[in-house]
Copies of this chain bind each other. A is one copy, B any other.
Amino acid sequence: MNIQIRKATIHDMEDVRQLVIALAIYEKEPEAVIATTNDYKEAFKKGIFEVMVAVDGSKIIGMVLYYMTFSTWKGKCMYLEDFFVLPEYRKLGIGQQLFDAYLDATQRSGARMAKWQVLDWNESAHEFYRKNNAILETNWWNGKMHFNNT
Contacts and interface: CB of A to CB of B under 8 A. Distances in A.
When A and B form their complex, which 7 residue pairs have the shortest distance between CB atoms, in order from nearest?
A35-B75, A39-B75, A137-B142, A20-B72, A49-B70, A72-B82, A117-B140
A48 B76 contact: yes
Interface in A91-150: 103, 106-107, 110-121, 126, 129, 132-149
Q: How many copies does the complex hold?
A: 2
Contact of A35 (B71, B119, B120, B132): B71
A102 to B, nearest CB: 10
Contacts of A132: 145
A117 B138 contact: no
Contact of A140 (B74, B79, B118): B118
Nearest to A109: B149
A55 to B, nearest CB: 19
A73 interface: yes
B136 A106 contact: no
A65 interface: yes
B73 A33 contact: yes
A40 to B, nearest CB: 8
B76 A72 contact: no
Nearest to A142: B137
